[in-house]
Amino acid sequence: MRISMQDTTTSHVAKRLTRLREKGGVVALGRVLTLVISTDDAGIESALEAANAASLEHPCRIIVLALGDPAAPTRLDAEIRVGGDAGASDVVILWCTGDNAQADESLVGALLLPDAPIVAWWPGLPPAVPSATPLGRLAHRRITDSGASAHAESALWDLRAGHRDGDTDLAWTRLTLWRIQVAGILDNLDARSLTSVSVDGAPDSPSTLLLASWLTLGLRIPVTIAHSKVGRGIRSVRLRRPEGDVVLSRSQSQVARLYQQGRPVQRIALPRRSDQDCLAEELRRLDPDEVFGAVLHEGLPLADLSAVQASER
């Protein structure tokens, strides 16, 4: 069910939600958090698709701030989505123009669930210091996506400069399965025997650079990047050692192959992660991601993020 409200206020929207709950129990009270999404009009549906899917695991209230033209007349339009249009959540979309065209506490304060954690998500280009924004100061957890930037390396340096405890980024979350597999491989090797490591990934992918930074920080040996074609994401990790290289490689399929000297090739499930998967993972934890912070602040400066060769495989 969708309910439109034209030229309204957040107070009126909150009262309408209360009446819906009292009238028919349409809006449940069993929400575990409030997810506030700051985006533009074009990004609403893709962000809601991810958030609604994540809400099946984490029932929540979703508030979408669709920030419009600050030079336009001041106006607030709203839409409430409940039931089949909202997954396991209740959704409030606020179209904001004029003086309202900023992610301010006054826009969302009346709609926040009482005594529930608040998570803020910027699906597009994030603010320079998310924790310093009015929305960021409200949130227990702040989620950005450096993958939205056209320049991966500069986006990560900006992310590092503005990072505070409680910040995370979906470019890091997309690496979870890669990190699990690589960590498992390293557990069965003598890391002291490694001479170098290379990561083959797309130059427009901040995940490629974060993976190289994570390996550099953890292994303290040279990690180089072999750039694949734009848009292909991470292709492989190669661990070089005197007795033979170990290579974890994934092409366009959802299955990776592990090559080791003198052993049969292993097939490993390594699917590409959707925004829904990544968002659901981030909503599972509201404590600071200390590993991500260490990779940004310590691993990034140590890593050589320049491409040493071009890969067209």
Model's pTM, two decimal places?
0.91
Same-domain status, 181 and 164: no
**Structure tokens that stand for 160 in this block:** 């590092």
Q: Are residues 84 and 37 in the same domain?
A: yes
The one-letter code for the residue type at 218 is G
Give 177's DSSP letter. H
Query: Are 150 and 195 within one domain?
Result: no
Residues 162 and 217 in one domain: no
Give me Rg for the CA atoms of the chain: 22
Domain of residue 265 covers 176-272
Is 225 found in the same domain as 76? no
Of 105 and 34, the one with more pLDDT: 34
Are the C-beta atoms of 281 and 168 separated by less than 8 Å?
Answer: no
Which residue has better confidence, 281 or 23?
A: 281
Residue range 275-308, pLDDT digits in tens:
999 999 999 988 899 999 999 999 999 988 765 4
Indicate if the pLDDT at residue 190 is higher than 50.
yes
Q: Hey, how many other C-beta atoms are within 10 angstroms of the C-beta on 90?
A: 26
Is pLDDT of 309 > 60? no
Of the pLDDT bands very low, low, confident and very high (cuts 50, 70, 90), residue 270 is: very high
What confidence score (pLDDT) does residue 29 get?
A: 52
For residue 8, name the pLDDT band (cuts at 50, 70, 90): very high
- The pLDDT, as a whole number, for residue 304 is 81
Tell whether 260 and 152 lie within a shared domain.
no
pLDDT in the model for residue 310:
44
Q: pLDDT tier at 313 (50, 70, 90 boundaries)?
A: very low
Question: Residue 220 falls within a domain, yes or no?
Answer: yes
Distance of CA 278 to the CA centre of its chain: 6
Burial of 25 (0-12, 13-18, 19+ CB in 10 A): exposed
Distance CA(276)–CA(21), nearest Å, equals 27
Q: What does the pLDDT look like over 38-73, one tens digit per residue?
A: 998 899 999 999 999 998 888 889 999 999 899 999
| pLDDT at 311 (0 to 100) | 42
Question: How far apart, in whole angstroms, are the C-alpha atoms of residue 226 and residue 298?
Answer: 22
State the pLDDT at residue 231: 63
* Predicted pLDDT at 286: 86
Same domain, 146 and 199: no
On whether residue 66 sits in a domain, the answer given is yes
Q: Which residue has the higher pLDDT, 199 or 312?
A: 199
